[in-house]
Amino acid sequence: ASKDMTEGNFQRRLRMPRILELSNLIFYFNQMSEEIQTSRQQLADHARSLEQKVAERTRDLEEEIDRRGQAETALKVANYKLERLAYLDGLTQISNRRSFDERFLQEWKRARRNKTALSIVLCDVDYFKKYNDTYGHILGDECLCSIAQALASVVCRPSDCVARYGGEEFVMLLPDTDTAGAIKVAESVRSKVHGLEISHRTSEVSEFVTVSFGVASLIPTGTIPPEALLNRADRALYQAKQAGRDRVSM
Write down the mean pLDDT value for the chain: 90
22: pLDDT strictly greater than 90: no
Rg (CA), the chain: 41
Concerning whether 168 is annotated as a catalytic residue, the answer is: yes
Look at residues 180, 144, 176 and name the one whose alpha carbon lies nearest to residue 161: 176
Which is higher by pLDDT, 183 or 26? 183
Q: What is the pLDDT of residues 141-195, one digit of tens each?
A: 999 999 999 999 998 788 999 999 999 999 999 999 999 999 999 999 999 999 9
Look at residues 90, 192, 73 and name the one whose alpha carbon lies nearest to residue 145: 90
Does this model's pTM top 0.85?
no
Q: Which long-range CB contacts under 8 A does 30-38 form with residues at least 24 apart?
A: 33/1, 33/5, 34/10, 36/5, 36/10, 37/10
Distance (Å, whole) CA 37 – CA 41: 6
With bands split at pLDDT 50, 70 and 90, how would you rate the model's confidence at 15? confident
Report, as an integer, the average pLDDT of 9-21. 73
Phi and psi dihedrals of 58, rounded to 5?
Answer: -60, -45
* pLDDT of the residue at 23: 80
Report, as an integer, the average pLDDT of 224-239. 96
* pLDDT of the residue at 80: 65
83: pLDDT strictly greater than 70: no
- Candidate from 61-70, 169-178, 196-205 with smallest mean pLDDT: 61-70
Count other Cβ atoms within 10 Å, centred on residue 201: 10
Distance of CA 240 to the CA centre of its chain: 38
* pLDDT of the residue at 35: 85
Among residues 168, 169, 197, 227, the one annotated as catalytic is 168
Non-local CB neighbours of 196 within 8 Å, separated by 6+ positions:
146, 147, 150, 208, 209
